[in-house]
Amino acid sequence: MEPVFIGGAFREAQDPVGSFRAVNPATGESIGPDYPISGAADLDACLEAALLAAPALRDTDPAQIAAFLHSYAAGIDAEAASLAPLASAETGLAAEGRYLANELPRTTRQLRLAAEAALSHSWTLPVIDTQAGLRSCLAPLARPVFVLGPNNFPFAFNAISGGDFAAALAARNPVIAKGHPSHPQTTQALARLAAAALVSSGLPAAAVQLIHDLPRQLGLRLAGDRRLGAVAFTGSRPAGLALKAAADAAGVPAYVELSSCNPVALLPGALEERGDAIAAELLASCTLGAGQFCTSPGLVLLVDGPATRRFVEAAARHYAAAAPGLLLNQGVLSSLEESLRALTAAGARALVQGQRLAGAGFRHGPTLLSSSGASFLAAAPALQREAFGPATLLIIAKDADELCLVTAALEGNLTGTLYSTSDDEQLYRRVAPLLRDRVGRLIEDRMPTGVAVSPAMNHGGPSPATGHPGFTSVGLPASIRRFAALHSYDHVKDAHLPLVLRNQNPGRIWRSIDGRHTQEDLP
Amino acid sequence: MEPVFIGGAFREAQDPVGSFRAVNPATGESIGPDYPISGAADLDACLEAALLAAPALRDTDPAQIAAFLHSYAAGIDAEAASLAPLASAETGLAAEGRYLANELPRTTRQLRLAAEAALSHSWTLPVIDTQAGLRSCLAPLARPVFVLGPNNFPFAFNAISGGDFAAALAARNPVIAKGHPSHPQTTQALARLAAAALVSSGLPAAAVQLIHDLPRQLGLRLAGDRRLGAVAFTGSRPAGLALKAAADAAGVPAYVELSSCNPVALLPGALEERGDAIAAELLASCTLGAGQFCTSPGLVLLVDGPATRRFVEAAARHYAAAAPGLLLNQGVLSSLEESLRALTAAGARALVQGQRLAGAGFRHGPTLLSSSGASFLAAAPALQREAFGPATLLIIAKDADELCLVTAALEGNLTGTLYSTSDDEQLYRRVAPLLRDRVGRLIEDRMPTGVAVSPAMNHGGPSPATGHPGFTSVGLPASIRRFAALHSYDHVKDAHLPLVLRNQNPGRIWRSIDGRHTQEDLP
C-alpha cells in the first residue's frame, strides 16, 4: 500500500478503511499500486501536525515560502517528462498537447507567481491611517487550510500543486491536501517533489501534508472542525455543498467552486458575419479536454433567424463529425449520460446524440441539444443542469425580448460570453448587463475555456457556481486573500508592527497611506 | 399603528402579526405609538420592490448615491436636536454626551465617508492586466441587502443609518432594513429623513426600505432567499448564527457581528508604572454606554504579583464606587444577570457584585469578577461567556507561562489589548502573537471601546466574534467590499467596460495596472 504524507514523512496509513487504485480511462483497467482510504487516525494526525506548524509558518520569512514554491516548481519542471505520461495514463488526456505543452507550464508558472506574491506582499492590502493611528493588513489565518482537488486538472488544480494550494501557502498557512482518487499516482509523484522542496527550503515539515482519499463523513468532520482556517474545494455541486455546510456550521470559511454551464450568447450580427467560424470555435471549446473544463460552454443562447439557423446546421455538422471524447473515469461517463437523459426529459431535443462507445474505455461522443426559449423558460432550473463532458445545449429564443428573458433566468455561472458585431450593439446593451450580474467573468468574442493566471482573472461567480461572489480561485494575488484574516493595529508601536505596516518600507511594498497608494516610507 | 416604509411609501403594515411599543428604560414604562410586527406580505413586498430597484441602482451614477448620502447626513444633522432626546428616551443613554457629542456626528461622518468612497470608487480595487487582456473590479451585487441593526447604537449601527447601511448602499445595492424594536421611534424618524433624501436625490424609491420588526421565522425566510445579495447583522450570537445558517444554506453571504469579550492583557511593568490610572481607564471603558459596547473590556488578563494585586484592589474600589448603569431594555438586564450567574457557576468569584436596582427601570451595578488562570483553563468556554453590560472578569495567571496558556485558550474576539512598558518586552513578544491571531484589532496601551471610522479599522475578527475573519463592518472602503461581487472582463471592448476599467480615467481612480498602482490613463 502506498504511503500518505503526514508530518513530513511518507508513512503507512494508520487505520485505513479501504484502498483503491487508479484506472486507465482508455481501457477501464486498474493501474498502479494500491492507495489507502484514510481513517480518522490519519486525519487527526494531519490536523494536529498542521495546527502545530501553523504559528511557525505564520512567522516564516516570505522569502522562505517563495524558496519552497520556486524549488517545488523547478522540481516539477525537471520531472515533467515523467509526470506527463503518468497523468495521461490516469486521465486519458494527452501527455504532450495537454500536459507538457499546457497544464504543466501553467502549474509551475502559478507556483512561481504565488512566490512573487508572497515576496511582494501584494495580497496583504496594507492600509495606514496616520491621523487615526490605525494600520491594517491581511495576514495569515495561522490555521490549516483543507484543500480538496478536482478530477479534471491533475496539476493546475491538484490539492497539492494547484491554485488553492499555492494561494493558501503563499498566505503562510499549512495545507492539508486531499488528492483526487482519479489520479493518485500523479498526486503522489507531486507529493514527493513537494517533500523535497519542503526539506530544501526548511519550511515546517507539516506545512504540506497529503492524504489520498477518505470517507465522506471524515471529510465533513475535518471541514467542520473549528480549529481549521478554511476549506477550498473544486468539484461537484453535492460534494462541495456538503463540505460548505459543515464548514459554515463551524464558522470556517469555505471556498467551493462547483458547477457552471458557461452561457455563450451569439448575437445575430456575429453569426451573420462569421457563423461558420464560430461553430468551429464552439466545437473546439466544447471538446477541449473532452469537455471536462469548469468553463466549458454548456449553454449557447441564440435568437432565431436565418444566420442562427445556418449556425445551428454548421454546429450540428461539426459535432456529428467530431471524434468521441475520452472521459476521466467511469463516474464522469455515467454522470454525463445521466445529465443528458435529464436534459432530454426536461424538453431538450438532440440534434447530435453522442453515444457511449462500447468496449473502449470511458468514451462518449459530442452531443448537441436544442431547446426553444419558451421551453427553457418553462424549465429553467432543469435545463441548467451541468452536463460535464462534451455536450452543449442551444437555446433558441424567438426574438430579442425572449433572449433577455432567457438570460435573466440564468443561474450563477463562472463565465458568460457574448459574440457580437457593431450591428448587435443595441441587443448587446440589453443582454450584457443581465449576463454580467450572473457570471464571474464576462468574455467577448472568444470561447470561455481559457482561464489565464492573471491578477485580473475571476475564476469564481455567483451561487451556485461558487459559494461566494467576491472571490476567485485563480489569479494572484486575489486568490490568496481567501486564506487571510484582516488584522488592524490600533496605536501599536512601530517595532511591534508586522513589516508591511512599519514606517520604513525597504521592500517597497505598495500601501495605501491616507488614501494614496505609494511604495514610500513613512517619516 | 405606525407605518412601515416600503416601495418609497410610508404605509400601513399589510398583515401585521402583532405590535409593540418602545419602553423607557429609566422607568420601565411604554412610550410612543404602536409599531407593527410585519407579516409575510410586508416582507414579500419589500423583497419584490428591492429586486426591481436593484438593477437600476447598480447603474446609478455614484454621484447620485453620494448625493443621497450627503443629503441624508445633512437631514440628520439638522434634526439632531430632536433625534437625540428621542433616542435617549428609548435607550437611557445621554442625549447630550452620548448622542449629540458623539454618536450622531459619527453617524453622519460615516454616511459622508461612504459618499466619498462611492465617488472615488476606492472600494472597487480595479486591476488591469494589459498582457492578458483582462480587467477586474468589485461591483454591485445588484441584489438587495438585508440589514438587521443591534440595540446598542440607534444611529451609528441602525439598519437604516449605520455602517452596514452606508456600505451596502455605497456599493449601489438596495437595503431592506429591519429596525431594532428597542428604539422604533428613533428608527422611524431616521426613515423619514432617508425618505426625503431618496426623493431629493432621485434614487429608486425602493433603494431603502424599513420594517420595524418581524417574527423570527420570517427573518430566517428572507435571509435564506436565494434572490438576496447578502445579509448583515449585528447583535446576539444565537440570532446571528441562525440568520447565518439560513443564508449559508441559500448561498447568500452573511456578515454577522456577534459577541466579544475583548481581552485586555495588563502586563506587570505597565501595572507597576501606572496601575491606578489603568484601573480608572478600565472602569471608564467598561461602564461607557453602561458597558453596552461591542468592544467593552469583558476580560482582563493578569499575571499575579504585587503590582497586579494593587491593581485588583484599585479596580475593585473603582467598580464598587461607580454608579449603576442604565441598561437598554429588560432583555439586556435579564441577560446580564443570567450571564453573571453562569460565570459564577463556572467558577468566577465576585470581587464587586453589582445588583439590579429595584423599581428604577433597568439598572445594574458594575460588577467585577475574578478567576485564577488555572480555573480559566479548566472552564475556558464557560468563562468566555459575554456579559453584555458593565461587567469585567479578571483572569489572574500564576506566571507568564500560564498567561500564555490563557491567551491561547481565547476564542475569537473583535479586539485584543496589551498594556506594556519596555520592561514587559519579553512577555509582550510571547503574548502578542497569541492574542493577534485571536482578534480582529490589536490595541496598545488604551482601552478598546473606541471604534474609529477609519480605512484601517477592523471591527471584525475570527469566529465566533463574527462569521468570517476577513471582513470589517466599520471603516471605509473595506466594509463596502462585503457587498460586492468580483467582476472580470476578458477581452471586452473599452466602450463596454465599466468606467473604473476603461483606458481613460478622468476620475483619477486608483488602479493596479500591471502590478503598479496609479491614477493615470491607459494609452
Residue in B415, B475, B491 nearest the CB of A444: B491
Query: Are the CB atoms for B57 and B140 separated by under 8 Å?
Result: yes
Give yes or no for a contact between A282 and A447, defined as CB atoms under 8 angstroms apart. yes
Question: Cβ–Cβ of B470/A460 closer than 8 Å?
Answer: no
Q: Of the residues A294, A386, A402, A411, which is catalytic?
A: A294
Residue of B nearest to A248 (CA): B248
- Residue to test with chain B: of A488, A496, A497, A516, most B Cβ within 10 A: A488
* B469 interaction partners in chain A (CB closer than 8 Å): 141, 253, 484-486
Q: Which amino acid is at A339?
A: S
Given an 8 Å threshold on Cβ–Cβ distance, is A487 in contact with B440?
A: yes
pLDDT at A359: 80
Q: How far apart are CA B34 and CA A220, in angstroms?
A: 48
* DSSP character string of A177-237: EE--TTSHHHHHHHHHHHHHHHHHHT--GGGEEEESB--HHHHHHHHT-TT--EEEEES-H
Nearest-CB residue to A485 (from B129, B470, B489): B470
A413: nearest CA in chain B? B487
CA distance A84 to B225: 46
Catalytic residue among B261, B286, B294, B404: B294
Helices (H), A250-324: 268-287, 306-321
CB contact under 8 A, B486 and A458: yes
Nearest-CA distance B324 → chain A (Å): 30
- For B232-286, the pLDDT digits (tens) are 999 999 999 999 999 999 999 999 999 999 999 999 999 999 999 999 999 999 9
- Give yes or no for a contact between A500 and A494, defined as CB atoms under 8 angstroms apart: no
Q: Phi, psi (5° rounding) for residue B221?
A: -65, -45
End-to-end CA distance of chain B: 61
Q: What residues of B are in contact with residue A467 (Cβ under 8 Å)?
A: 251
Q: For residue A335, count CB atoms less than 10 angstroms from its CB and return exposed for 0-12, middle for 13-18, buried for 19 or more.
A: middle
List chain A residues with pLDDT less than 50: none
Where is B308: in which H helix or E strand? helix B306-321
Give CA separation, A133 vs A19, A398, B163, in Å: 57, 61, 20
Residue B367 has pLDDT above 90, yes or no: yes
pLDDT tens figures, B4-38 = 999 999 999 999 999 999 999 999 999 999 999 99
Indicate whether B97 pLDDT > 80.
yes
The phi, psi pair for A181, rounded to 5°, reads -65, -5
Looking at CA atoms only, how far is residue A52 from chain B in angstroms?
A: 13
C-alpha distance from B385 to closest chain A C-alpha (Å): 17
Q: Three-state DSSP class for B120?
A: helix
Tell which residue, A345, A352, A353, A336, has the closest CA to residue A387. A336
Substitution target from B120, B255, B480, B488 for chain A, most A beta carbons within 10 A: B488
Alpha-carbon radius of gyration of chain A: 24
A454-470 pLDDT, tens digit per residue, is 999 999 999 999 999 99
Rounded Cα distance between B418 and B73, Å, is: 36
Q: Residue A485 is nearest to which of B251, B462, B478, comparing CB atoms?
A: B462
CA nearest A477: which of B138, B462, B127? B127
Determine whether the interchain pair B490/A440 forms a contact, defined as Cβ–Cβ distance below 8 Å. Answer: no
Q: Do B486 and A478 touch (CB under 8 A)?
A: yes
Q: How far apart are the first and last CA of chain A?
A: 61
| Given the residues B103, B257, B386, B402, the one annotated as active site | B257
Residue A294 annotated in active site: yes
Total residue length of chain B: 523
Amino acid at B257: E
Taking Cα atoms as reference points, which of B22, B44, B43 lies closest to residue B31? Answer: B22
Neighbour tally for A128: CB within 10 Å: 28
Nearest chain A residue to B248 by CA distance is: A248
The secondary structure of B186-209, three-state, reads HHHHHHHHHHHHHHHHCCCHHHEE
- Identify the burial level of B286 via C-beta atoms within 10 angstroms of its C-beta, where 0-12 means exposed, 13-18 middle and 19 or more buried: buried
Q: Note the pLDDT of residue A358.
A: 83
Q: What span, in angstroms and rounded, lies between the C-alpha atoms of A80 and A82?
A: 5
The predicted pLDDT at position A360 comes to 77
Q: How many other C-beta atoms are found inside a 10 Å radius of the C-beta of residue A135?
A: 29
Report whether A97 contacts A160 (CB < 8 A): no
Give me the residue from A415, A456, A468 closest to B135, CB to CB. Answer: A456
The sign one gets for the Cα dihedral B482, B485, B489, B495 is: negative
CB nearest B454 (choices: A129, A412, A440): A129
- Which residues partner with A23 through β-bridges? A30
Residue A495: all three cell numbers together: 517595532
What is the phi/psi pair of residue B219, to 5°? -65, -45
- Distance of alpha carbon A292 from alpha carbon A364, whole angstroms: 12
- Quickly tell me which residue has 458557461 as its cell: A262
Say if the Cβ atoms of A442 and B492 lie within 8 Å.
yes
Å from A144 to nearest chain B CA? 13
Query: Pick from A12, A51, A170, A31: which is nearest to A91 by CA?
Result: A31
Residues on chain A touching B518 (C-beta within 8 angstroms)? 517
DSSP 3-state of B29: strand
Q: Is the pLDDT of residue B359 over 90?
A: no
In degrees and rounded to multiples of 5, residue B42 shows phi and psi of -65, -45
Task: Determine, for residues B134 and A484 on separate chains, whether the beta-carbon distance falls below 8 Å.
Answer: no
pLDDT tens figures, B275-316:
999 999 999 999 999 999 999 999 999 999 999 999 999 999
Question: Other C-beta atoms within 10 Å of B399: how many?
Answer: 12
> pLDDT tens for residues B63-72?
999 999 999 9
Nearest to B439 by CA among B461, B419, B417, B406: B461
pLDDT at B360 over 80: no
Contact A455 B129 (CB under 8 A): yes
Residues of A in contact with B250 (CB under 8 A): 463
Q: A465 to chain B: nearest residue by CA?
A: B251
Q: Which pLDDT score is estimated for B205?
A: 95
What is the per-residue pLDDT for A388?
A: 96
Is residue B456 within 8 A of residue A132, CB to CB? The reply is yes
CA distance B148 to A479: 30
What are the grid coordinates assigned to A43, written together? 486525519
pLDDT band at B209 (very low <50, low <70, confident <90, very high): very high
The model's pTM = 0.98
